[in-house]
Amino acid sequence: MKDPYEVLGVNRNASQEEIKKAYRKLASEYHPDKYIDNPLRNLAEEKMREINEAYEYLMKNNGKYVSEEELLYNVRIDIQQGNFSEAERKLNSINNRSAEWFFLMGIINQRKGWYDGAYDCFQKAHSMDPGNREYNQAFNSLNRRNDNYREPYGKDKDHDLCQICTTLYCLDCLCESMGGDFIPCC
């Protein structure tokens, strides 16, 4: 959706009255009846649809409109402040799902402990915008945390005797090459 203020040609703090006035003026200008037998008819219809949509939106939301970029920025602030349910509500109100949308949704899912959702969202953000550092980093850091958690399990906890022998042998060789001797008998 385009910015409804731009479509109606009014400024951002216009009153309801001003919006109505601007709408009526534009509606009469682009009314389809005026464009019968006119090659610009399709264009006028398109414009009319936009005007109607913008007008309805502003009337329904009491003349408040926040663009998607602003909304996504607000979501980031909510996330930073730990206000996740509000952030999620705002995200859900956006229909256009961009890479950034998926990235932010992934962060929220991660904080909620919904790791399947987070995995899915991060993958989508990555496939839509593979070069984005921020998106890749978020997913990688999650993977790193998992790797750290796995580490003690994967490690061989027993230092066997052979390992000790080779260590001593190497140490002796090193000492001898420097002129000293760690194990005198060999």
Partner 1 sequence: MFGYVIPCKMELKIKDYEKVKAYYCGLCRAIKYNFGNMPRITINYDMTFLAIFLDALDSHKNEYIHSNCILHPFKKRNFIVNNSPLEYASFINVILAYHKLLDDIDDDNSFKSKIFSILLKGYLKKIPTQYIKTKDHIVKKLEKLYSLEKSGNVENLDELSHPFGELTAHSILDYYNDEKYQENLYYLGYNLGKWIYIMDAFDDLEKDLNHNKFNGINAVLNKDNLPYNEFRESVKSRINFILTSYARECSEILNSLPIEKNDEILYNIFNYGLLEKMDFVFKKEESTK
CB atoms within 10 A of CB 47: 15
Residue 10 · residue 22 · CB < 8 Å: yes
Q: Does 141 bind partner 1 (CB under 8 A)?
A: no
Number of residues that bind partner 1 (CB under 8 A): 18
* Of the residues 149, 160, 179, 185, which one makes contact with partner 1 according to CB under 8 A: 149
Task: Single out the segment in contact with partner 1 by CB under 8 A; choices: 82-90, 127-135, 147-155, 161-169.
Answer: 147-155
Contacts of 121 (CB under 8 A, 6+ apart): 102, 103, 105, 106, 109
Task: Draw the binding track, 34-73, toward partner 1 (x: CB under 8 A; -: no contact).
Answer: ----------------------------------------
Site for partner 1 in 70-129 (CB under 8 A): 109, 112-117, 119-120
Residues of 165-175 as b/e, b for ≥16 C-beta within 10 angstroms? eeeeeeebeee
Collapse the DSSP code of 14 into the 3-class scheme (helix H, G, I; strand E, B; otherwise coil) and give the result. coil
The reply to whether 158 sits near partner 1 by the rule CB under 8 A is no
Out of 127, 146, 163, 167, point to the residue binding partner 1 (CB under 8 A): 146
Q: Contact at 8 Å (CB) between 130 and 139?
A: no
User: Which residues contact partner 1 (rule: CB under 8 A)?
Assistant: 109, 112-117, 119-120, 142-143, 145-146, 149-150, 152-153, 157
